[in-house]
Amino acid sequence: MNLLKRGNTYHFRIRIPSDLTPEFSRKEIQQSLKTDDKRTARSRALRLSRLLNDGFDQVRQAISLKRSQDDVDELITNLLTSIGGTRRRTLSEESEETIIDMSNLIAAYLKEKKPSVEQRTFETMEYSFQLVIHFIGNINLNRLNRSVCRDYRDKLSGSPKYLLRDANASITQSPISTKSVNKHMQFFSSMLRWAAREEFILGNPADGLTIKRKTAPWEERLAFSKEDLNIIFDNLWNEEHLISRRWVPIISLFSGMRLEEICQLRHCDLIEQDGIYCFSISPEAGAIKTAAAERLVPVHSKLIDMGLLELASPDPNQGPDRLWNDLSPNKYGRYSNSVGKWFGRYKRRKGFNDNRHCFHSLRHTFINELKQIDAPEPVIRQMVGHADNSITMGRYGKRYDVKKMKQWIEKVGYPYLFGLHQECP
């Protein structure tokens, strides 16, 4: 019996007696003990060891009594189920030959994931696994261990940005960020976790190998200050003539909506409920980030004063026509690509060269304004489309009605902001 620690969690490992390995179709059993306390882990491991050794004896007895293979299989299945494990599936000769190295594992995993992920995410995964092959090589899965995974992480950390996409990456030496390293490690670890479930490998040797970031979460992106906002919005409508560039940043500032949520709006997504105009964010308009992102966001009176209703024409007869006729979807069906790139150029032109200032900073600014006026956290979460994972409020508590939401959104007024026009020119 052995105790293994992967990340912060202890695992139990026991070798199956050699006379029983053909029946179990494996040489050992590993099981998470679901604790980071060593004393608790030892106690649980001892219980599992006794349970399994008794089970091994029962299987031997069944074989010696020449019980049917079905009876032996049932004993083994029940034994493994009792400890929370599963019977090793019997692989075909073809799969035993193919799932033995990293490239074939990657191919099998991508085939499994492709139907359930967006095309953009799938392409990102493909590139991430190209990095695995680049740094680790087409290693046999029997040689994959903790040391190999840690070495991969360390090589990633020292590599240039866009290593396999830019022929000059090794020359320019623009370094990969810690956030990107962790993203690649999460893709890698997710694949190995799947491989362990499918019993191609024993356990996930990359578990817990992400790098602890020194930057506080609230420092990863910056909100705009009062002075910043006046610089950003001063003369915006005189400088920019495309309707989306005039309106999309302002809507984000007064609603906290995500960039794509605004860019994919249709005329029919501006609705009236209980006498209150709202943005309706739904998957019918386009991709939404999570289930919690589907919501109603009351329209701030400032946007109405500036002429949004005349622009949007909240008329059911308008149907699914897009609100911003100057935007076209990219190959992934996203409408926000051009606006995001424009805002990056625009903010740099205004003197904001820190990458932590971006379009998403407008959303941060809105949330920060709500926080500073002591808006209840559940209200903020619902307003901006974040999930409430608490049992009381998330499962039993229902959504706030739009009248309650409207009261809070109207308190975000930015009285110091002088650069906005009062009506759409």
- Which domains does the chain show, CATH number per domain? 2-82 (no CATH), 94-214 (1.10.150.130), 226-409 (1.10.443.10)
Query: Does residue 151 or residue 21 have the better pLDDT?
Result: 151
Q: Is it the case that residue 40 has pLDDT exceeding 50?
A: yes
Report pLDDT digits (tens) over 127-149.
999 999 999 999 998 889 999 99
Residue 96: predicted pLDDT: 42
Q: Would you state the structure tokens that stand for residue 10, as one six-digit string?
A: 């202890």
Report pLDDT digits (tens) over 307-351.
898 887 655 555 558 899 889 998 888 899 999 999 999 999 999
Residue 269's pLDDT band, with cuts at 50, 70 and 90, is very high
The angle that helices 377-384 and 360-372 make with each other, rounded to 10 degrees, is: 160
Q: Mean pLDDT highest for which of 15-29, 95-109, 225-239? A: 225-239
The rounded percent of the chain whose pLDDT value lies above 90 is 39
DSSP letter for each residue of 1-50? -EEEEETTEEEEEEEPPTTTHHHHTSSEEEEE---S-HHHHHHHHHHHHH
Q: What residues does 295 pair with on adjacent strands?
A: 281
Q: What are phi and psi of 411, to 5 degrees?
A: -80, -15
Query: Does residue 173 or residue 355 have the better pLDDT?
Result: 355
Residue 360: predicted pLDDT: 92
Residue 97: predicted pLDDT: 44
The single residue listed with the structure tokens 């191609």 is 200
Are 378 and 371 a contacting pair, CB within 8 Å? no
Q: What are phi and psi of 340, to 5 degrees?
A: -60, -45
Mean pLDDT of all residues in the chain?
83
pTM: 0.62
Q: What residues does 280 pair with on adjacent strands?
A: 296
Q: Is it the case that residue 95 has pLDDT exceeding 70?
A: no
Residue 171: predicted pLDDT: 47
Residue 73: predicted pLDDT: 80
Query: Cα dihedral sign for 89, 94, 95, 101?
Result: positive
Query: Does residue 278 or residue 290 have the better pLDDT?
Result: 278
Q: What residues does 3 pair with on adjacent strands?
A: 12
Report pLDDT digits (tens) over 186-218.
999 999 988 887 878 878 899 888 888 766 655
Residue 88: predicted pLDDT: 47
Q: What are phi and psi of 24, to 5 degrees?
A: -85, -15
Query: Does residue 174 or residue 206 have the better pLDDT?
Result: 206
Residue 94's pLDDT band, with cuts at 50, 70 and 90, is very low
Q: Mean pLDDT highest for which of 119-123, 218-222, 406-410? A: 406-410
Among the residue ranges 254-263, 354-363, 386-395, the one predicted with the least confidence is: 386-395
The single residue listed with the structure tokens 């998957």 is 283
